[in-house]
Amino acid sequence: MINTASVLLDGVSYGMLLFLFSIGLSITLGLMRFVNLAHGAFAMIGGYVTVSLVNLLGVPFLLTLPAAFAVSGVVGFVLERVVIHRVYREPELQQVLFSIGLAFAASALATIVFGPQQQPIALPSWLAQRISLLGVPVGASRVFLIGVAAVAAVLLVLLFNRTLFGARIRAAVDNRRAAEGIGVRVGRLFAVTFALGAAMAGLGGALAVDSLGLDPTMPFKYLIPVLMVVVIGGPGSIPGSLVASLVLGVVDTMFKYAVPDVGPFVVYALLVGMLLAFPRGLAAIRA
Q: Given the rule CB under 8 A, which residues bind other proteins? A: 159, 162-168, 170-171, 174-175, 177-178, 180-186
Give me Rg for the CA atoms of the chain: 19
CA dihedral 25, 11, 51, 105 (to 10 degrees): -40
Closer to other proteins by Cβ: residue 74 or 186: 186
Closer to other proteins by Cβ: residue 56 or 182: 182
Closer to other proteins by Cβ: residue 153 or 246: 153
Closer to other proteins by Cβ: residue 64 or 193: 193
Own/partner contacts of 251-254, CB < 8 Å, gap of 24 or more, are 251/11, 252/11, 252/14, 252/225, 253/7, 253/10, 253/11, 253/14, 254/7, 254/8, 254/11
Quote the least distance from Cβ 21 to other proteins, whole Å: 25
Task: Please tell me the distance from the alpha carbon of residue 186 to that of residue 177, in angstroms, as a whole number.
Answer: 9
Quote the least distance from Cβ 163 to other proteins, whole Å: 5
Quote the least distance from Cβ 182 to other proteins, whole Å: 4
For 45-112, the DSSP string reads: HHHHHHHHHHHHH---HHHHHHHHHHHHHHHHHHHHHHTGGGTTTS-HHHHHHHHHHHHHHHHHHHHH
Closer to other proteins by Cβ: residue 186 or 254: 186
Closer to other proteins by Cβ: residue 107 or 193: 193
> Is 244 strand, coil or helix?
helix
Quote the least distance from Cβ 162 to other proteins, whole Å: 6
Quote the least distance from Cβ 54 to other proteins, whole Å: 31
Quote the least distance from Cβ 26 to other proteins, whole Å: 20
Task: Please tell me the distance from the alpha carbon of residue 226 to that of residue 248, in angstroms, as a whole number.
Answer: 10
